[in-house]
Chains A and B, each alone.
Chain A
């Protein structure tokens, strides 16, 4: 199994192909619906974002409250397509990776080729299992959004699938075709 560390380099991204299984460690940031709207607002107004986006990975997630003695609560991915509208802009500002679930729009797939980036699928609903791969969690912006605040996470070997690569390929189409061929 391939090991990767975030933030990612352009070379990392260009070496990844749809369908590959990887273990991701390092630093990523959570942001979902409400945080994306605020980030778009910051960009429109020319204000600073909560983090420098260059090379970073955003995890579309809003964890449950942190239990005492644990670094984070249950933390699985949310549906990525709701973030599609703002993703090309964030990619143009240096975002290099995203973690979520479900397919992306044609516009996002196109933007991921223009600004090389990777989209990983985490296992939707396996949130207790994924919490065990997070070693630290700290709110860095927009605490008023509660579960939707922006958090900095340190990951240790989070299991992911390369769902879409920088070459326009996606693991959903490839996987479904492969299965259907296997039962012909």
Chain B
């Protein structure tokens, strides 16, 4: 049994909140740069160049890339041979508090959805915990902006609607989102599971490295096909027209019921952020 102090979890989450908001991951930055090279429409190419410049300014001046520094989504994979000294969830919330206050990140969380008073420190975090083999803790902090989150959708399709129904739903979601989620967007798509699991898979899909394909060739081909369909809409960067509507798209699929075909599309933006640390 390995001992890990809750204080170390707090320190790590605080650091990851700040780093994720200031430094765009290399894979997303590269995808932006590549899209700029390949964009055939001049106004869209100029916009993509501005996004690259913004990422550079944020990195060099230690300013947040985007003013919407998001709700802090935390994925924790806890090894079953770890004993945590202290309160695990409280340690994560404390890390978010410290990261958002010390890092001068925007406090974008209200404590109640209808009475809407800002909590003042961006807590609580949304925590997804999974028990895994081993004696380590893997923490991923993914600050999620709501301009894109608001454009996300979930639908319980029927089995008869099949893959065509899935494609139709993804495209419909992208078209409804239009210019709102700060395209070029990144899409996380969940297929299968049940009502809440499909949404979780869509969120997890956003954490995957850009350009990485699903291990299953069937879904890898579907990823390519969907990306091509989305980039044929003409929405383009900022919705002002162009090829680059989507930088990358990942699918996660899972077992489901004989009566169902759940599908969820979690929409993200060109500032798709996630940073990971292993304790």
In the complex, the answer to whether B54 meets A65 with C-beta atoms within 8 Å is no
Tell yes or no: B180 within 8 A of A by CB: yes
* In the complex, chain B residues whose CB is within 8 Å of the CB of A75: 67
* In the complex, chain B residues whose CB is within 8 Å of the CB of A180: 234, 241
Considering the chains assembled together, what is the distance between the CA atoms of A67 and B240 in angstroms? 32
In the complex where A64-B105, A126-B54 touch, is A73 in contact with B63 (Cβ < 8 A)? yes
Chain B nearest CB: distance from A66 CB in Å? 8
In the complex, the answer to whether B234 meets A176 with C-beta atoms within 8 Å is yes
B57, B68, B104: the one within 8 Å of A132 (CB): B57
How many residue pairs at the A-B interface have CB separations less than 8 Å? 152
Name which of A44-52, A76-84, A150-158 contacts chain B.
Answer: A76-84
Tell yes or no: B61 within 8 A of A by CB: yes
Tell yes or no: B99 within 8 A of A by CB: no
Residue of B nearest to A67 (CB): B104
Counting chain A residues whose Cβ lies within 8 A of the other chain, the interface size class is: 35 or more
Tell me the interface secondary structure of chain B in the complex. Answer: loop
B40, B44, B63, B270: the one within 8 Å of A131 (CB): B63
In the complex, the answer to whether A124 meets B147 with C-beta atoms within 8 Å is yes
Residue of A nearest to B63 (CB): A128
Which residues of B are in contact with A by a Cβ distance under 8 Å? 40-41, 43-44, 47, 50-51, 53-54, 57-58, 61-69, 104-108, 116, 118, 120, 147, 150, 178-180, 182, 233-236, 238-243, 269-271
16 contacts between A and B (CB under 8 A): A73-B106, A76-B66, A76-B68, A123-B50, A123-B238, A124-B182, A125-B51, A126-B53, A127-B67, A128-B63, A129-B53, A148-B118, A175-B43, A175-B239, A179-B242, A183-B243
